Amino acid sequence: MPITRIGNEAPYTFNQLGWIADGGTVTDGNAVQAGLDRDGNDGVDPNSEAVSATRNFAFAYDPFDPNTNTGEAPIPGTQTYPGSAFQQGIVTQLFYMCNWYHDETYRLGFTEAAHNFQNVNFTGQGVGGDRVRAEGQDSSGTNNANFSTAADGIRGRMQMYVFTGPSPDIDGSLDADVVIHEHTHGLSNRLHGNSSGLFNDMSRGMGEGWSDFYGMSMLSQASDPLDGIYTTGAYVTYNWFQAPGFVNNSYYGIRRFPYAVKTSVGGPNSRPHNPLPPPR
């Protein structure tokens, strides 16, 4: 069902400019600029944001097989700007998730004083001018995603790639789990030494765990079973492994094992779903 958001509804009244400032018609706002990065130059391509003169960002596309309903590939043979309906759809989703993440973590304390990502800092604390660059279908790679974080006042960069599975290709911008994971790298880096504290292998490993945790917790629902089996990146790894009868990677995702309590057994060889020892 359609979702209507301005961005400053309660309890988000701290967003004085909303998600898109008055008069804006593209996916560019105070917290996030989302667009494509197809031209080979680092950054959101000019005029590549999703656009709507009425600010009704609704685009028809199939997230699993774009060719079926719309007749267009995820990446068109000839790139135009603004992008295809599929591309504007995935940019809209990326913009939505990044803004939602900004608002929810702001409520949890990731504010201007904590070095968050905003173009205009309403409180006068921290340094502005650093809204996130969310780059969909980034042409610098495939089958991955990343978030580059510099000190407060320098824009964070999220690069979301296309996952080149057997068929069809999967767009990373549509996996909310991965988007939240990457955005949390920006959060955890800014909270540790203003982006100077997480560089050795151990701290980077903790960052991976924190990012997985945020993805699972922010997307969880009250009805989710406590002893359930949860993974990271199930959507982007769809159909990646073509063993006989194996068509979906929602068990492993991008990790060696799913997240599950130790007493939850039933994994391979009747072992716990997560047999790894706890950290010491």
What are the E-state strand segments in the chain?
32-36, 132-136, 145-148, 157-160, 162-163, 170-171
Is 182 noted as a catalytic residue in this protein?
yes
State the catalytic residue, choosing from 49, 112, 135, 182.
182
What are the E-state strand segments in 102-178?
132-136, 145-148, 157-160, 162-163, 170-171
The span from the CA of 36 to the CA of 121, in Å, is: 26
Sign of CA dihedral 78, 73, 38, 131: positive
The span from the CA of 106 to the CA of 15, in Å, is: 10
The span from the CA of 89 to the CA of 49, in Å, is: 10
Q: Which residues are catalytic?
A: 182
